[in-house]
Amino acid sequence: MILTTTDVVQNADIEAYLGIVTAEVVYGSNALRDFFAGIRDIIGGRTAAYERVFERGQRDAMAELEKRAQQLGAHAVIGIEIDTGTINMDQSGVLLLITAVGTAVRLR
């Protein structure tokens, strides 16, 4: 399966557009990770623990996107966009949200 941010696949013709596919990954926050991230906010620097969470989330979202495209009979997903965000859960913290969206296509 070809996964690309471009709207074409080089040296391939698109036979059919099978529709938009989406994938969502949501992770709960972790108190210990939040504590150390808060310290980083005060003293500065990168927060490696959260970078790893977002990296894993992007991989998981792409894998889910590929799985959903395969269910449609696609050979590729083009025009992929990945977005990240948070969902506030009142006093209990936040959830991390990673979404991926693209167009499933069948190639000749």
Paired tokens of 43: 């003293």
Other Cβ atoms within 10 Å of 37 Cβ, number: 15
CATH of domain 2-107: 3.30.110.70
Helix axes 48-71, 31-43, angle to 10 degrees: 120
Q: What is the pLDDT along the chain (108 residues), one digit of tens a residue?
A: 999 999 999 999 999 999 999 999 998 765 445 554 555 555 566 666 677 888 899 999 999 999 999 999 999 999 999 999 888 777 667 788 899 999 999 999
- Percent of the chain that is helix, strand, coil (3-state, to 5): 35, 40, 20
Enter the pTM of the model: 0.78
Domain positions in the chain: 2-107
